[in-house]
Amino acid sequence: MADSGAALKDAAKKNRNTANMTEEMVTEVTLKSLKENKEGVTSYPILEFDERALNLLCTGVRETLKHSKIKPAGGKIYKALKRTFDVVLSAGALVVLLIPMGAVALAIYIDDKGNPFFSQVRLTENGKPFRMYKFRSMCMDAEARFAEVQKENQSDGLAFKSEHDPRITKIGGFLRKTSLDELPQLWNILKGDMSIIGPRPPLPREVVLYTPEQMDRLLVKGGLSCICQVEGRSDMEFDKWVESDVRYIKTRNLKLDASLILKTIVAVVKGRGAM
């Protein structure tokens, strides 16, 4: 396992676009980074995924989840009602928030004349990739500059977090603190890419470092918010974050979903952490 981790790092240094990476390099899980740095991951072995590498990763996730010991709660009726709930709420919210969202987009454009919207590939149920939308809170070349700031990760896990990320724009800091940057994900929910409540969809560069147990959080459709976002949001330790997601997956029901929606609103209003 340690050898494959070293291979990933060597390959990433030689070829950032992962075009020549093998299936073994992409799908093999490594814990070397966490073992060497107790404070968390500060160097991601793969920063960019081309289509082939992404497909290999998604295949690896699906194969791993086939052997998961976790059985998601909720039958066909729950899933149908949950989807209906998602469509009604997301559609209604988009209509009500259309003008405020337009104002946010205009403010972002005025700030630096760049596209106010940002999208990136995330993984959801069974490793399925999709494009998740946000209001742009960073400079236009933020993804290209990630290699410059990855060692500033303040998270103890695989998710990246930096309070003083130089890529964040002036208005971006406010958008993140208030979670307004997440509003375009209502479109993802309406399309069916996401649910209102579910584990937050991770990036491919994070998933490639997951253990099989951590991949369990991809057993269900990703969401706008979940237990982590109401109990600790981005301040929660990664292991506890995973535990909270698995707890949701094993116990999810409509009553719990409704409760988490209300608690999410309270967390956003109080400004605890960031989505």
Query: Each residue of 165-213: pLDDT tens digit?
Result: 778 888 988 998 889 999 999 999 999 999 999 999 999 988 988 889 9
Q: Smallest Cα–Cα separation from 20: which of 29, 7, 11, 28?
A: 11
Dihedral of the alpha carbons of 79, 213, 274, 92, in degrees to the nearest 10? -10
**pLDDT tens, position by position, 44-58:** 666 678 889 899 999
**What is the pLDDT, as a whole number, of residue 113?**
87
User: Which pLDDT does position 266 carry in this prediction?
Assistant: 87
Residues counted in the chain? 275
Least confident piece of the model among 75-84, 111-120, 160-169 = 160-169
Helix (H, G, I), strand (E, B) or coil at 131: strand
Continuous H helices in 28-153: 32-36, 51-65, 76-96, 98-112, 146-149
Does 27 score more than 50 pLDDT?
no
Comparison of pLDDT for 15 and 175, the residue scoring more? 175
pLDDT at 267 over 70: yes
pLDDT digits (tens, 9 = 90+) for 119-149: 999 999 999 999 999 999 887 777 776 666 6
What is the model's pLDDT at position 28? 45
pLDDT of residue 34: 43
Instruction: Quote the CA–CA distance of 5 and 271 in Å, as a whole number.
Output: 37
Average pLDDT of the residues in 222-236: 82
Q: What are phi and psi of 162, to 5 degrees?
A: -150, 115
Q: Which of 259, 261, 252 is nearest to 78 (CA)?
A: 252
pLDDT value at residue 152: 59
Say whether pLDDT at 268 is over 90: no
Tell me which of 22 and 211 has the higher pLDDT: 211
Secondary structure class of 106 (helix, strand, coil): helix
Give the separation between CA 119 and CA 2, rounded to whole angstroms: 33
Q: How far apart are CA 149 and CA 157, in angstroms?
A: 16
Rounded to two decimals, the pTM is 0.79
Residue 238 — very low, low, confident or very high, per pLDDT cuts 50/70/90?
confident
Question: Could you tell me the two tokens for 31?
Answer: 């814990």
Maximum mean pLDDT: which of 81-85, 176-180, 225-229, 232-236? 81-85
- Short-list 65, 93, 80, 14, CA closest to 199: 65
Predicted pLDDT of residue 29: 40
Query: For the CA atoms of 221, 102, 263, 83, what is the dihedral angle to 10 degrees?
Result: -30
Looking at per-residue pLDDT, the higher value among 35 and 271 belongs to: 271
Would you give the end-to-end CA distance of the chain in angstroms?
32
